[in-house]
Chain A
């Protein structure tokens, strides 16, 4: 009798698990696709501007980076990007690696366009690291309001929701703490590694204006205003991503603020422009985003 009751209870528990687990795990979502078709949306951070050599260094991108024969021969850094990790973990068949990111792109004017380009590639995994050029304006009047920023983010995210294949994953990475990047540039000056203000004052500012953080005439309070906008935009990204993830049964949306919280060290910021992550910085970006990302259980 006791044994019968035990079996009955076990059966009931098993039944409950069979019914409840998929609901709990996937929240009734379409089966998640493997991330073999990667598309990155972003700005100069994803293009790896000045990471190792002046201008774009796509091999050193945290998202799309690669390390083939020429990179090896020239002694360039292997950043072990998401692209490389995907091949390692999921195999090379059916792989695709698209970079939609463009230096200077921002949420206010470019995100929507990049999402349209991205869906054209039918990716199963889309990374989004954008907003630095919204926080980085020539003047404070260039920084969008929360409502403007959110509206454009929603518009682009809706493009992804409407056109990505069912089971695709959208991984939104919070904007890097650009206040901290600037502090690191101060370290570079103090250590005598490079006079960052000389670099900013010469040609480099024309390439990536960031007067709201890098202008040497700003007060501490003004720089912290920029940081407060950085934080506000990240809060929007997080909230909207959660909302989409809850409402959309076909796609997976993940947000991380791990990169914002990450303290870049002096050598992880470029000596070429004192602002963008260097190749070691990109390598860290890749590691930090992967271990906090949607495929973190794949550890190769």
Chain B
């Protein structure tokens, strides 16, 4: 075997470090775009993969930190303003507050309590102890208002800026396969509505989706997924019947009739709706006995919980979380932005 001696400038000597360098560059590139969170047998699991499902939950946690920083920064700033003012006047903070707040708060007179009761006659019926309670309320309110006004005057003289950026609103990857939908299959806007039939709030949010579909004809696909308290027997029964209606090709007729009940859902109302739509009850009963519908409902709830939903109604607009409790105009703005 010949042992060929390699010089310092030979190619074979330099190939491994060059390859390593290129790999490192790739890794740096990946890290910049995506963070490696874990590895399995040496292969990476990236943040983007985790965020496919849990982006919204991560967003909530990051937002909590941001909000905590905002409040703490304000507290520190207020503390510094008070200290600076106290030192400028050669006082302690305590004395400064005594002079500016305690001493400047007008003392409470019995007439103030009389005036309050005159403008709130409903309080008089609460018994003789009400005067003491109102006295405490009025005295405390005056003192606190004086302090708030004083702090405000100090803030106005300063230049406070909170610089930390709020986390960006995330977008989750929506799983809509096999779920009931209406509208246009390849529409640019997909609205995934997590709702149930026994909530007036869900009825309202369904109405908002209906308006979007009316305002953007041919551009929206509406997907329904169940989300509710599995311990609510009427909501569960209604959802199971919904799954049966889907199986029999009548989901949206059923959906709309149920939403027309404005959240007043009872087992009798569900049965009446099923009868009106001529749903095959025997098929429903056997599917229910097998737990077929329950399983699909549970899948929806489990998926919803995994992507961060705690309560319905929630609408994901192309993967962006939108609570169905917010005004229609806000949802419309998101839809318009998505269409652009």
Once the chains bind, are B134 and A141 in contact (CB under 8 Å)?
A: yes
Once the chains bind, are B123 and A192 in contact (CB under 8 Å)?
A: no
Q: Name the residue of chain A whose CB is nearest to the CB of B134.
A: A141
Chain A hits for B326, CB < 8 A = 192, 195, 198
Chain B hits for A270, CB < 8 A = 310-311
Task: Please list 7 pairs of residues, one from A and one from B, whose beta carbons are closer than 8 Å in the complex, sorted by A's number.
Answer: A54-B232, A192-B321, A221-B144, A221-B148, A263-B68, A270-B310, A272-B310
8 A Cβ contacts from B189-220 to A: 200-201
Once the chains bind, are B67 and A221 in contact (CB under 8 Å)?
A: no
User: Which of the residues A139, A194, A195, A228 comes within 8 Å of B140, measured between beta carbons?
Assistant: A228
Flag the segment in A143-151, A238-246, A283-291 that touches B.
Answer: A143-151
Whole-angstrom distance between the Cβ of B135 and the nearest chain A Cβ:
9
B contacts with A: majority SS: helix
8 A Cβ contacts from B287-316 to A: 302, 305, 310-311
Once the chains bind, are A194 and B133 in contact (CB under 8 Å)?
A: no
Is B231 located at the chain interface by the 8 A CB criterion?
yes
**Given A140-B134, A263-B68, A270-B311, 5 new contacts (CB under 8 A):** A140-B133, A141-B120, A202-B200, A225-B140, A229-B140
Is A220 located at the chain interface by the 8 A CB criterion?
yes
Once the chains bind, are B136 and A266 in contact (CB under 8 Å)?
A: no
Among B123, B137, B230, B325, residue most surrounded by chain A Cβ atoms (within 10 Å): B325
Among A141, A195, A265, residue most surrounded by chain B Cβ atoms (within 10 Å): A141
Once the chains bind, are B322 and A141 in contact (CB under 8 Å)?
A: no
Chain A hits for B133, CB < 8 A = 140-145
User: Which of the residues B64, B200, B311 comes within 8 Å of A265, measured between beta carbons?
Assistant: B64
Q: Name the residue of chain B whose CB is nearest to the CB of A272.
A: B311
Whole-angstrom distance between the Cβ of B6 and the nearest chain A Cβ:
60
Is A224 located at the chain interface by the 8 A CB criterion?
yes
What class of interface size applies to chain B in its complex with A? 35 or more
Interface 1/0s, chain A 260-283, versus B by CB < 8 A?
A: 000101110011100000100000
Q: In the bound complex, what is the Cα–Cα distance between A53 and B301 (angstroms)?
A: 12
Chain A hits for B330, CB < 8 A = 192
Given A141-B133, A228-B140, are A53 and B231 neighbors across the interface (CB < 8 Å)?
yes
Whole-angstrom distance between the Cβ of A224 and the nearest chain B Cβ:
5
Q: In the bound complex, what is the Cα–Cα distance between A40 and B56 (angstroms)?
A: 35
Is B229 located at the chain interface by the 8 A CB criterion?
yes
Q: Name the residue of chain B whose CB is nearest to the CB of A143.
A: B133
What class of interface size applies to chain A in its complex with B? 35 or more
User: What 4 A-B pairs come out closest when comparing CB atoms?
Assistant: A271-B310, A53-B229, A265-B64, A140-B137
Q: Name the residue of chain B whose CB is nearest to the CB of A224.
A: B144
Q: Name the residue of chain B whose CB is nearest to the CB of A278.
A: B310
Is B179 located at the chain interface by the 8 A CB criterion?
no
Is A18 located at the chain interface by the 8 A CB criterion?
no
Interface 1/0s, chain A 211-231, versus B by CB < 8 A?
A: 000000001111011001100
Q: In the bound complex, what is the Cα–Cα distance between A162 and B146 (angstroms)?
A: 46
Flag the segment in B40-48, B88-96, B124-132 that touches A.
Answer: B124-132
Once the chains bind, are B141 and A145 in contact (CB under 8 Å)?
A: no
Chain A hits for B321, CB < 8 A = 192-193
Q: In the bound complex, what is the Cα–Cα distance between A198 and B61 (angstroms)?
A: 23
Q: Name the residue of chain B whose CB is nearest to the CB of A53.
A: B229
Once the chains bind, are A271 and B311 in contact (CB under 8 Å)?
A: yes
User: Which of the residues A145, A191, A224, A265 comes within 8 Å of B68, measured between beta carbons?
Assistant: A265
Q: Name the residue of chain B whose CB is nearest to the CB of A222.
A: B141
User: Which of the residues A139, A192, A195, A266 comes within 8 Å of B64, measured between beta carbons?
Assistant: A266
Is A74 located at the chain interface by the 8 A CB criterion?
yes
Given A187-B63, A272-B310, are A145 and B140 neighbors across the interface (CB < 8 Å)?
no
Q: In the bound complex, what is the Cα–Cα distance between A225 and B142 (angstroms)?
A: 9
Given A144-B133, A148-B129, are A220 and B148 neighbors across the interface (CB < 8 Å)?
yes
Once the chains bind, are A267 and B60 in contact (CB under 8 Å)?
A: yes
Is B266 located at the chain interface by the 8 A CB criterion?
no
Q: Name the residue of chain A whose CB is nearest to the CB of B122.
A: A139
Once the chains bind, are B68 and A141 in contact (CB under 8 Å)?
A: no
Once the chains bind, are B230 and A74 in contact (CB under 8 Å)?
A: yes
